[in-house]
Amino acid sequence: MKSPKRIYIAGHNGMVGSAIKRKLINSGVELILRDRNELDLTNQKEVETFLRKETPDEVYLAAAKVGGIHSNNSYPADFIYQNLMIQTNIINGSFLAGVKKLLFLGSSCIYPKLSSQPMKEELLLSGYLESTNEPYAIAKIAGIKLCESYNRQYGESHKIDYRSVMPTNLFGIGDNYHPENSHVIPGLIQRFYRAKISKDPFVSVWGTGSVSREFLYVDDMADASIFVMNLDHKIYKEHTDPMVGHVNVGFGSDVTIKDLAKLVSNVVGYDGEIVFDTSKPDGTPKKLLDSSKIKLMGWNPSISLEDGLKLTYQDYENNNKSLRS
């Protein structure tokens, strides 16, 4: 009887990693999982020892230090150092342990601030990055290039296949709701929820509200990740290039922050005023991925922004019943 495929998910407690775990847990595979207190991913020796011992068949590299504009601005050294160390240790450690298949999860912030829209994979390294998250973006670019470089040097000789997917802005179950370090959707959900409970007359939102963002529900991202990991090598190579080996994963349309705020307030049930604080930064003017490659490969998202927000808010509300009056 054939042994089940052994899969290591790095970052299985994070939003994306936990979604991948939910998708794989009943699929007949054996999952290899380690909490932060069991394995320090920034420690090269620990990671190499762990991977050599476990010898997984596949690795999903979803572990990362993440945060919003405020967090990226406040802790740039932490963001670049920790992400570089995590990625390098896992990718090189996987190679040394004989892992043939790996999927690296990046971020759409890898593209230049003033990229043409929608952003194609080929725009990588074609201009200046958004300054507020440049350290994080550089780390993610390095992760892509690590995968490409290992494929170019060892793909034929060692039969490795290390792939990269670049998600747009993600949201969903398991997101970070820290009042200062969260991304836009969880930040809006927790502010509108607290304002509803406290009956506050208005909620302040950073920026002008005029910038646009694309959002993808995290379960769709997990589905896309598993799709790309399992895609036939020939098909993947047909749609990528040795020097542009990553694939965008987006919903296909964007929304202004102003319209997003209205949508979130409606889902939460907050009927007060929304005030935009124009003294705060907007960030990149527009971020919309060109996801035509993955769609040509055969994958499409299935969860709309509104439906995803309802599922996310339901999860948030269930976990915050103590705030109700």
How many helices (H) does the chain have, and how many strands (E)? 11, 12
pLDDT score, position 286: 82
Q: What is the average per-residue pLDDT within 89-102?
A: 98
Q: How confident is the model at residue 325 (pLDDT cuts 50, 70, 90)?
A: very low
Q: What is the pLDDT of residue 181?
A: 64
Q: Identify the bridge partners of residue 103 per DSSP, sorted by sequence position.
A: 60, 163
CA-to-CA distance for 143 and 63, rounded, in angstroms? 12
Question: Which residues, including other chains, have CB under 8 Å from residue 59's CB and lie 6 or more apart?
Answer: 7, 8, 9, 10, 51, 90, 94, 99, 101, 102, 103
In angstroms, rounded to a whole number, what is the distance separating the alpha carbons of residues 50 and 59?
13
Task: Write down the pLDDT at residue 277.
Answer: 94
pLDDT tens readout for residues 221-257: 999 999 999 999 999 999 999 999 999 999 999 999 9
- Kindly report whether the global pTM for this prediction surpasses the value 0.85: yes
pLDDT digits (tens, 9 = 90+) for 131-171: 888 999 999 999 999 999 999 999 999 999 999 999 999 99
Over residues 265-274, mean pLDDT: 97
Three-class SS of residue 298?
Answer: coil
Taking the CB of residue 197, how many other CB atoms lie within 10 A of it?
Answer: 13
For the chain, give the mean pLDDT: 94
Residue 250: predicted pLDDT: 97
Structural domains present in the chain = 6-175+215-251+287-303 (3.40.50.720)
- How much is the pLDDT for 198? 95
C-alpha torsion sign, points 220, 226, 232, 236: positive
Give me the mean pLDDT over the 14-34 stretch. Answer: 96
- pLDDT band, very low/low/confident/very high, at 66 (cuts 50, 70, 90): confident
User: How many Å apart are CA 250 and CA 304, to the nearest integer?
Assistant: 12
Is 293's pLDDT higher than 90?
yes
What's the pLDDT score for residue 179? 67
CA distance 260 to 20: 26
Pick the closest to residue 109 from 213, 188, 226 (CA basis).
213
Give the torsion sign (CA, 134, 228, 183, 282): positive
* Planar angle of CA 98, 103, 105, nearest 5 degrees: 140
Residues labelled as active-site residues: 136
Query: For residues 238 and 233, what is the distance between their CA atoms, to the nearest angstrom?
Result: 9
70 pLDDT more than 80: no
The pLDDT value given to residue 180: 66
